[in-house]
Chain A
């Protein structure tokens, strides 16, 4: 962790109030993420990890504490914190190209010419291997392809932080592996700062520089942070027998299933 962190959480807490009943979801979340770092947030469902991501994204306002990006307080949504949504959230009436273009037009409408914006969109679609499907509509492509477009749209905003909310959660195992490899490639090429929510231990270890493990809600907070000391580029086949991989995997499993087992409910 460097002295001047890129993305900083300071005492972030979140309570939802319904009538007189207040539920504290998050309490005292402190975290520093460096530029270019890939950080995963892992925890059982209901631990407020999506809430945390929505606070960074500006879709929710924390009740206590602040999030700083490059020293600036985060208090509204914006393209510098692009989000890849779990359910892709593509606009069904636009083509693959149109879905990326609408974001590019809005973010770079003033700074780039129309042809530059077109090239920019095509470059991002190329990056996620969707350029040849640019004229299809979301209902004509598979779930994995939709998520690729969602990633292209987020990348096209050239965000300071890429936020991913269980981006591969709704995909089958093979598609997920394929997409994870794509994300690793893109991260290697572009060096984005990434914050990813996941509930998949292997995914977290494979992709992350650090894994942030959340305790169970209510009043969830960061239980432990694990640095993954695996060199990049990482290859999933070689990792299967790697000692560091096994150690990290075991540490996360130990945290999730022994120290912070979901009480009484089945996970």
Chain B
């Protein structure tokens, strides 16, 4: 095509030449415009964001209408925001004692969850692997676990207070005992479900027990482990708020209890929103971590 060759030449050497037939031929080589590249992405994003925003607006509207009438017992959203504006815009204030900003309460609760949940993850994965690999251990431990896992988190609190004689380790123990069961159970299911194909491959290349554990068992079980961890982190966040109401001190759980005792209903509502958002982020965090660790084979 001589016309194309001729057309391309001036376009390449003199890109600023005025519009001509030549430039029309050269156009497809150019990168797509910003709108072309980001248009579909934006449309996709907006199709995800617009529906929840509309629904949220409707919910707030109905709430506002219901609670604006005289004699309403709960504050409407406008009053919640007005009451708690100082609390919302400055999450980092610290007036000593338990009079701290939202950030410090949430950070304290999260640190308890972090310690208890990390312990639960380590012990849970270890026990899960043991139960998954040993039929004897499974038969011995599984019935006990099935009973223990149904005990509500707070039922453990008095016992752990009696054992530790201190609020902090008791709260962490409640987190631990709450979140360990799904980790154990999912890990053991994952180990038991390692496909025979992988075992055959390992047998042909003669992996040792140790190599099999690191190169087959753990990676094959990762999606199951992270399913357990996601359930576990959700449960531990449920448990910490309840436990903190009882043990007191700094923490988002006791903040709610304290607000109730001082009739600061708006503070309670803001704290609930924060708890929900943090719980959601924790879940997403573990899911994203699982996605990365399992190289995309685990669902996020």
Q: Which residues of A contact B (CB under 8 A)?
A: 57-59, 77-79, 81-83, 85, 87, 89, 91-94, 102-103, 106-107, 137, 139, 157
Specify the chain B residue showing the minimal Cβ separation from A137.
B295
Query: Considering the chains assembled together, what is the distance between the CA atoms of A33 and B207 in angstroms?
Result: 28
Chain A residues with Cβ below 8 Å from B201 are 85, 89, 91
Specify the chain A residue showing the minimal Cβ separation from B204.
A77
Chain A residues with Cβ below 8 Å from B204 are 57-59, 77-79, 81-83, 157
**Contacts A89-B201, A91-B216 given; does A106 touch B297 at CB 8 Å:** no
Let me know if A106 and B216 touch, CB within 8 A. no
Which listed residue, B195, B197, B200, B211, touches A106 by the CB 8 Å rule? B211
**Contacts A85-B197, A89-B197, A89-B200 given; does A139 touch B205 at CB 8 Å:** no
Q: Interface 1/0s, chain B 216-232, versus A by CB < 8 A?
A: 10011010000000000
Please give me the 5 A-B residue pairs with the lowest Cβ-Cβ distance, nearest first: A89-B197, A77-B203, A93-B219, A106-B205, A103-B205
Residues 183-210 of B at the A interface (beta carbon under 8 Å): 195, 197-198, 200-201, 203-207
Query: Considering the chains assembled together, what is the distance between the CA atoms of A66 and B295 in angstroms?
Result: 43
Chain B residues with Cβ below 8 Å from A78 are 204, 206
Specify the chain A residue showing the minimal Cβ separation from B219.
A93
Residues 62-86 of B at the A interface (beta carbon under 8 Å): none
Chain B residues with Cβ below 8 Å from A92 are 295, 297
Let me know if A107 and B297 touch, CB within 8 A. no
Query: Considering the chains assembled together, what is the distance between the CA atoms of A87 and B198 in angstroms?
Result: 11
The 16 listed contacts between A and B (C-beta, < 8 Å) are: A57-B204, A59-B204, A77-B200, A77-B204, A79-B205, A81-B204, A83-B200, A91-B216, A92-B297, A93-B219, A93-B297, A94-B219, A106-B205, A106-B206, A137-B296, A157-B204
Q: Secondary structure of the A side of the interface? A: loop
Chain A residues with Cβ below 8 Å from B219 are 91, 93-94
Query: Considering the chains assembled together, what is the distance between the CA atoms of A87 and B201 in angstroms?
Result: 12
Judge whether B215 is part of the interface by a CB distance below 8 angstroms. yes
Chain B residues with Cβ below 8 Å from A77 are 200, 203-204, 206
Let me know if B295 and A91 touch, CB within 8 A. no
Counting contact residues on chain B (CB < 8 A from A), the size range is 20 to 34
Query: Considering the chains assembled together, what is the distance between the CA atoms of A5 and B200 in angstroms?
Result: 27
Judge whether B294 is part of the interface by a CB distance below 8 angstroms. yes
Q: Which residues of B contact A (CB under 8 A)?
A: 195, 197-198, 200-201, 203-207, 211, 215-216, 219-220, 222, 294-297
Task: State how many angstroms separate the Cβ of B202 from the closest Cβ of chain A.
Answer: 9
Chain B residues with Cβ below 8 Å from A81 are 204
Chain B residues with Cβ below 8 Å from A157 are 204-205
Query: Considering the chains assembled together, what is the distance between the CA atoms of A83 and B203 in angstroms?
Result: 11
Let me know if A91 and B205 touch, CB within 8 A. no
Query: Considering the chains assembled together, what is the distance between the CA atoms of A94 and B296 in angstroms?
Result: 11
Query: Considering the chains assembled together, what is the distance between the CA atoms of A77 and B201 in angstroms?
Result: 9
Query: Considering the chains assembled together, what is the distance between the CA atoms of A222 and B201 in angstroms?
Result: 28
Let me know if B198 and A59 touch, CB within 8 A. no
Task: State how many angstroms separate the Cβ of B198 from the closest Cβ of chain A.
Answer: 6
**Contacts A89-B197, A92-B297, A102-B215 given; does A58 touch B205 at CB 8 Å:** no
Query: Considering the chains assembled together, what is the distance between the CA atoms of A93 and B205 in angstroms?
Result: 17
Task: State how many angstroms separate the Cβ of A106 from the closest Cβ of chain B.
Answer: 5
**Contacts A85-B200, A93-B297, A137-B295 given; does A107 touch B216 at CB 8 Å:** no
Chain A residues with Cβ below 8 Å from B297 are 92-93, 137, 139
Query: Considering the chains assembled together, what is the distance between the CA atoms of A157 and B203 in angstroms?
Result: 13
Task: State how many angstroms separate the Cβ of A162 from the closest Cβ of chain B.
Answer: 12
**Contacts A57-B204, A106-B206 given; does A91 touch B198 at CB 8 Å:** yes
List 9 additional A-B contacts (Cβ < 8 Å) besides A58-B203, A78-B204, A139-B297.
Answer: A59-B200, A59-B204, A89-B201, A91-B220, A93-B222, A93-B294, A94-B219, A107-B205, A137-B296
Query: Considering the chains assembled together, what is the distance between the CA atoms of A87 and B203 in angstroms?
Result: 16
Specify the chain A residue showing the minimal Cβ separation from B294.
A93
Task: State how many angstroms separate the Cβ of B229 from the closest Cβ of chain A.
Answer: 17
Specify the chain A residue showing the minimal Cβ separation from B293.
A93
Task: State how many angstroms separate the Cβ of A91 from the closest Cβ of chain B.
Answer: 6
Query: Considering the chains assembled together, what is the distance between the CA atoms of A157 and B84 in angstroms?
Result: 69
Query: Considering the chains assembled together, what is the distance between the CA atoms of A94 and B294 in angstroms?
Result: 10
Query: Considering the chains assembled together, what is the distance between the CA atoms of A66 and B53 in angstroms?
Result: 72
Chain A residues with Cβ below 8 Å from B200 are 59, 77, 83, 85, 89
Query: Considering the chains assembled together, what is the distance between the CA atoms of A94 and B215 in angstroms?
Result: 10
Specify the chain B residue showing the minimal Cβ separation from A106.
B205
Specify the chain A residue showing the minimal Cβ separation from B222.
A93
Let me know if B198 and A89 touch, CB within 8 A. yes
